[in-house]
Amino acid sequence: MVFVIKGKSIILFGPPGAGKGTQSGLISTMTGKPQVSTGDMLREAVTDGSEVGREAKSYMDRGLLVPDEIIMQLIKMRLSRDDAMGGLLFDGFPRTIPQAMALETLTDVSMVISLVVGDDEIVSRITGRRTDPETGEIYHLEYKPAPQHIRGRLLQRDDDTEDTVRNRLSTFHKQTAPLSDFYREKGILIEIDGSGDIKQVSSSIEAIIDAKSGE
Ligand code: AMP
């Protein structure tokens, strides 16, 4: 069943490696809202070799945030597409208070689902993370092993090494974590324990979306 919360966007929030990319498909299917990941958009720009991509890469490789102006340009372009009319599911955006404030002028946000996971678990999750370039499916060497026949083609993201992960976490705590308070004060923050296994976290998310759709 598809629950459309019309015209309003949803934010999937959490530190890098909290499982946002893994859980976003479920939320997108349940709500009918297209998933938008600024990280994916930036990686595409890097692969295309565009000017935005070249500039973004220098920040991404160091585990730093890409400047707000670049991110807001991407978001404005995405929101202008027809399929954004019913709201979008943002994954990895906003990541700073100025981004959150700019978003307020562009779309209504109905809920912010925050996946809470501790730093040590994140480091182990991210360094074992591998992506299938053909399907975009995310695997983990230990927690979600890929089928044997596709293992040879799996890729590790350039910024998924331990040093960069530590920098990304420190960036998260300094610049992004304050957004929890921003959305808590608005009464739309829903915190979920993201440390369980994938299915457990999915069930918690499902229960919340069911409950919100019935309101
Ligand atoms: P992600 O795939 O969401 O972990 O993003 C990978 C990298 O892209 C981050 O470490 C940042 O360098 C950059 N990035 C993604 N989304 C944003 C954003 N909303 N604001 C600033 N930088 C971003």
Instruction: pLDDT band for 158, please (50, 70, 90 cuts).
Output: confident
**Is pLDDT at 161 greater than 80 in this prediction?**
yes
The angle, 0 to 180 degrees and rounded to 10, between the axes of the packed helices 68-79 and 97-104 is 30
Alpha carbon distance 30, 49 (integer Å): 34
Please determine, looking at this structure, whether the domain spanning 9-33+86-213 carries the CATH number 3.90.1490.10: no
In sequence order, which residues have a C-beta less than 8 Å from that of residue 208 and are 6 or more positions away?
113, 190, 192
pLDDT tens digit sequence for 137-146: 999 999 899 9
Show the tokens assigned to 110: 């109905």
pTM: 0.89
pLDDT at 2: 43
pLDDT in tens, 2-56: 443 446 999 999 999 999 998 999 999 999 999 999 999 999 999 999 999 999 9
Ligand 1 atom nearest 92 alpha carbon = 3
For 81, half-sphere exposure in the C-beta direction (CA atoms, 13 angstrom radius) is 10
Amino acid at residue number 192: I
Instruction: Say how many Å lie between the CA of residue 7 and the centre of ligand 1.
Output: 25
Give the chain's mean pLDDT. 92
Quote the ligand 1 centre to 60 CA distance (angstroms).
Answer: 7
Q: Strand 8-13: give its sheet, edge to edge.
A: 35-37, 89-91, 8-13, 108-116, 189-193
Mean pLDDT of the 72-100 span = 95
State residue 3's pLDDT score.
Answer: 43
The domains of the chain are located at: 9-33+86-213
Task: Cite the beta strand spans of the chain per DSSP E.
Answer: 8-13, 35-37, 89-91, 108-116, 129-131, 138-140, 189-193
